[in-house]
Structure formats: structure tokens, C-alpha cells
Amino acid sequence: MRQLIMEIPTVRKSKLFHFVLLLLGIYLVVAALLFVFQRAFIYLPSSEYEHDFEQITLPNDAVNIEVIVLNRGNENAFIYFGGNAEAVILNALKFSINFPTKTIYLVNYRGYGGSSGKPTEAGLFSDATAVFDNFSPAHKNIAVIGRSLGSGVAVHLAANRAVSQVVLITPYDSILAIAKKQYPMFPISLLLKDQYDSVGLANRVSAPVLVLAAGKDRIIPLSHSQKLVDALGRGKEQENVTMIVFEQAGHNNISQFADYDESLTVFLDGLEIETRVESIQQIIAQ
């Protein structure tokens, strides 16, 4: 009888031990899957669409980057880096109409929209630099616009090249910070290959910056955009960084709000700084 009583706790401890081992095994398997397939979660390549706009193939790092060119031949220009899964060609008509005096370059990331290769942080940064270096000699001023995923690409380019202006749409402080909130139980800092640390580059961005953020953004919460704005504005003149929050907008529909196009136009049209700030403040107040 005494032996039986002693065996019961032993059996329970054995079951608990095996249960802990099972949980640990599941945890390690999930962590391994996150590590191996992480880029499938980060990058959602867009399809290639047929269109009648001019398109240039730019070789870089053994891949071919497809760049759509609008309004060729203007003195001023901007480069557009889109969001994840965004077909940048869908912006072509509106951009060409809204900015008739600017040449516009819509960049299909490697692996997106007919560009070859597979997307990585290093690859997208390299391609962005190649696009700028290839086209900037033809222009007096060249600005950069980055939306969502593209905001990190735009910040990197602005930190390493003399761009005239920067527009960041639903931007993040870093993909690492967002991933940590989504997967708090895993050592994301050790697992994540592509971290897009925009905050870490913020102090190297000297060009005027406009940030357009969404108040109801569930993909990149407003707090992450605000942290980037704080870092960009640190040590700079106050009017050098402007943030407009579209309170009722979500991550994917911010461009559908009435003042969105006007905000871009006012900023990119290159008004004198006092006039530009006053105009943007009027938009914010509406």
C-alpha cells in the first residue's frame, strides 16, 4: 500500500515532465517555422499587370527591376515605393494627372510586378539606391515617397542620398518593433532577418518630411508611426517634419480620404516653407 502511494506522485511527475517536453517541442517547431518562412509573412509580391505606360528594366545585383516612368522629361521628379502586395501601376493614372510637371518613377520591388529575384531588406535597399543613382542625374530635385513597407525603403534612401523631400505613408518605426508585439513569446530580435530599422536611420534624414498616418490602422498602429516622427524631428527645426493623422482612416484606405491627395500636392509642389506649413496646417484643421 505504501509503495502504491509513492508511485502515484512519481507517475504524475512523469506525465508533467512529458507535457512540458511536448510544449517545449511545439514552441521550438513554431519558432523554427517562423525563422524559415518569415519572408513569406513579410513580403506579399504583387502580380504583373499589362499597361501602356513607359517601363524601363534596370539591372542590379543580378536581378532586373521593372520601373514605370510617367511624365518623362521634367526637371523635378519623385520615386514611389509601394506597400506590401500593392501593384504600383494602379497609381499611375492618378499620379500622372495630379503631378503633370513631375517625372514619376514607380518601382516594382524585386519579385514584385514582373521584377526578377526574391525580396529581402538588403535587396530592396540596394535596388532603391540603384534607381536613384540611375535617374537622379536627369533631375534638379528628386523626392521619395514610401507607403507602408515602402516607408522603410524610403527612409533608408533618404538617409543615404540627397533627396529633396520625403513622404511616408502609414510608416513604422521598425518591422522588428511590430513583430515583437505580434509574437511576444518568441525571441524575435534573434529570429528576424529583415528588421527595417527606420528609427535607427532617422537622424540621418535631413530633407523635409511629411508623414501621413491612419488613426484606425490595425496593421501599423499609430503609435509606431508616432515613434518614427519623434525620431525624425529630434534635433531638427520643427517645420522640417509634418505629421497628418487621418483619424477615420485604416491602413489600406487612407488614400481614399479627400485631403490625402491635397496633402501630397501641397507638400511636393515645393511651396516656400512658410506657405507649405500654413497650407498643411489648414488641412490638419479641417
Structural domains for the chain:
43-285 (3.40.50.1820)
* Residue 253: per-residue pLDDT: 96
Largest CA distance in the chain: 96
pTM: 0.86
* Residue 176: per-residue pLDDT: 93
- Could you tell me which of 278, 260, 257, 276 has the C-alpha nearest to residue 268? 276
* Residue 272: per-residue pLDDT: 42
* Residue 183: per-residue pLDDT: 81
- Could you tell me which of 129, 142, 145 has the C-alpha nearest to residue 83? 145
* Residue 8: per-residue pLDDT: 54
Contact 198, 152 (CB under 8 A): yes
* Residue 28: per-residue pLDDT: 65
* Regions in the chain scoring below 50 on pLDDT: 1, 4-5, 272-276
Contact 174, 199 (CB under 8 A): yes
